[in-house]
Amino acid sequence: MKLRSIITFAFILITANVFAQKTYTNEIGIQTDNDSYLLQGSDRYYTDGYYMYFRHALSTDNSPSLQNKVLGFEFGQKIFNPQSGSIADPSGVDQPVLVDRPFAAYLYVGSTLNLLYKNESSLKLSAQFGVVGPAALGKQIQDWVHDNFGFYHPSGWEYQIDNNAELNLSAEYKRLLTRTESLDVSLDAYGNLGNGFSGAGIGPIFRLGNFNQLFNSVTTQSTVTRNTSVAPLHNNEVFFYYKPMLNYVAYDATIQGSLFNKRASNSTEITLEKEPFIFSNQIGVAFTANRFEFDIAAILQTKTDKEMHLSEQWGTVTGLYRFR
């Protein structure tokens, strides 16, 4: 199995360098997250996520400092459950509490504006409008996946977070710190503000391999561009990366419930107390080849609420197709 993996990755490296670099102004793609991708047999906490993206490069002709500018639109869903997706008794009679992370789903549409500067700093502004609760269809999606792919039938969604509409804003800043021929280090920081998610985080990004400048790279979701005045460092990117991050959580509606709405008297939702600080590690590989772009990673992070019995882990796979 190890030899097969080495041969497969070698083929990817060779393929990625065969194709010549071309400029594309649009891309469309999907991302899927699941804890089962790590082959640990787990089905807990952030257990499933689906996302669709469309990005379009804008002109930077009138800006002396911008090298690239990308407008994006996205649609996504996140699904959360406790240590198991099958909870018969949430109180855990004669055993530890089973709902150690609330059942919840978040469904949203959003837009991003990515400003990428010639000095290899970037500012990505995001806005999302969505809903947490039964209207986010978490139960229906998890039931369908489990029933059609031979898994156990989920139970316990009657205790999920109640419906609440959300507006969430975000700003993310990246900046190159240092670079050698095959290794560079960047700073990554973000801030979230909204009635669903509020907080901030900071950490470095280490890249090893054939990577491009931050204004035209997988790292900053900016491989589409209209500006060809600066040649990329490589025709195609193929690099490993490591991204540790310290996160501060001010509010998380998928754990704490609605920020404003009063809980109904007949509600059966179970809410818990969030952890204020979370440390996450992301390690992955990213590469481009002709019109295609891929990012494959594993994420491991500490507990997100105070009742959790275990830490979190999941895999993520992103694939995009670029066109003119």
Distance CA 218, CA 223 (A): 6
Phi, psi of 90 (to 5 degrees): -65, -20
Query: Does residue 95 belong to any structural domain of this protein?
Result: yes
Residues constituting the chain:
324
CA distance 102 to 323: 41
For residues 179-198, b (16+ Cβ closer than 10 Å) or e, as one string?
beeeebebebebbbebbbbb
Question: Would you give the end-to-end CA distance of the chain in angstroms?
Answer: 39
Instruction: Tell whether 14 is covered by a domain.
Output: no
CA–CA distance, 293 with 68 (Å, rounded to integer): 18
Return the beta strands (E) in the chain as ranges: 26-34, 45-58, 66-81, 104-117, 121-132, 164-179, 183-194, 197-210, 238-252, 277-289, 292-301, 312-323
Residue 168 is assigned to a structural domain of this protein: yes
**What are φ and ψ of residue 37, in 5° steps?**
-65, -20
Domain membership flag for residue 4 = no
Q: How distant, in Å, are the alpha carbons of 29, 115, 218 from that of 293? A: 9, 20, 8
Q: What is the number of structural domains in the chain?
A: 1
Residue 32 belongs to domain spanning: 21-323
User: Is residue 13 included in any domain, yes or no?
Assistant: no
| Torsions phi, psi for 189 (to 5 deg) | -145, 150
- Asked whether the beta carbons of 161 and 136 are under 8 A apart, the reply is no
Q: What is the CATH number of the domain that holds 260?
A: 2.40.128.140
pLDDT for 6 equals 45
- H or E, element range at 148: helix 138-148
Tell me, yes or no, whether 7 lies in a domain.
no
In a domain, 304, yes or no: yes
What is the pLDDT, as a whole number, of residue 90?
Answer: 66
- Please report the pLDDT score of residue 9 as a whole number: 53
pLDDT tens for the 324 residues of the chain, in order: 444 444 445 445 444 444 445 789 999 999 999 999 999 888 899 999 999 999 999 999 999 999 999 999 999 999 999 998 888 766 654 445 689 999 999 999 999 999 999 999 999 999 999 999 999 999 999 999 999 988 889 999 999 999 999 999 999 999 999 999 999 999 999 999 999 999 999 999 999 999 999 999 999 999 999 999 999 999 999 999 999 999 999 999 999 999 998 888 889 999 999 999 999 999 999 999 999 999 999 999 999 999 999 999 999 999 999 999
Q: Quote the tokens at residue 267.
A: 């509600």
Long-range contact list for 229-236, CB < 8 A, 24+ apart? 229/67, 230/67, 230/118, 232/21, 234/21, 234/210, 235/17, 235/19, 235/20, 235/21, 236/16, 236/17, 236/19, 236/21, 236/210, 236/287, 236/288, 236/289, 236/290
Q: Is the dihedral of CA 212, 218, 219, 220 positive or negative?
A: positive
**Quick one: pLDDT at residue 97?**
67
Q: Is residue 249 part of a domain?
A: yes
